[in-house]
Amino acid sequence: MSIQIDKDMCCGCRRCSAVCPGMLIEHDADKKAQIVYPKDCWGCASCLKECPAGAIKFYLAADIGGHGAVMQIKRQGNITQWIINKENSTTIIKTDSKAANKY
């Protein structure tokens, strides 16, 4: 369980490192974000929700059943698109922050 940060896409805004509850993200000399403690990620996805550049992806490590899929987030107004890319397919699930869970 951890995140990957695409250095080329990172805009250096520091929002991810500001909000990470474990303070696991730091910035290199180019101000680009990097996860310095990948094994310490709780999987809360707060950084994905903050990132305005879509540079952060979330994955399940192999020890908890992951085999390569990654999840990204796109937010527009109330709607969050959760985009899950597997090897041969993409699944998109939309959640609405104004709609309560049915369960």
- Site for another protein contains 63 (CB under 8 A): yes
Does 71 bind another protein (CB under 8 A)? Our answer is yes
76 part of the interface to another protein, by CB under 8 A? no
Q: Does 8 bind another protein (CB under 8 A)?
A: no
Cβ pair 33, 55 in contact under 8 A: yes
Determine which residue in the list 64, 76, 77, 88 makes contact with another protein, applying CB under 8 A: 64
Q: How far apart are the first and last CA of the chain?
A: 25
- Name the burial class of residue 58, with classes exposed (0-12), middle (13-18) and buried (19+) by CB atoms within 10 angstroms of its CB: buried
Stretch that binds another protein, among 3-11, 27-35, 91-99 (CB under 8 A): 91-99
Binding site for another protein (CB under 8 A): 1-2, 18-23, 38-46, 58-67, 69, 71, 80, 82, 84, 86, 91, 93, 95-103
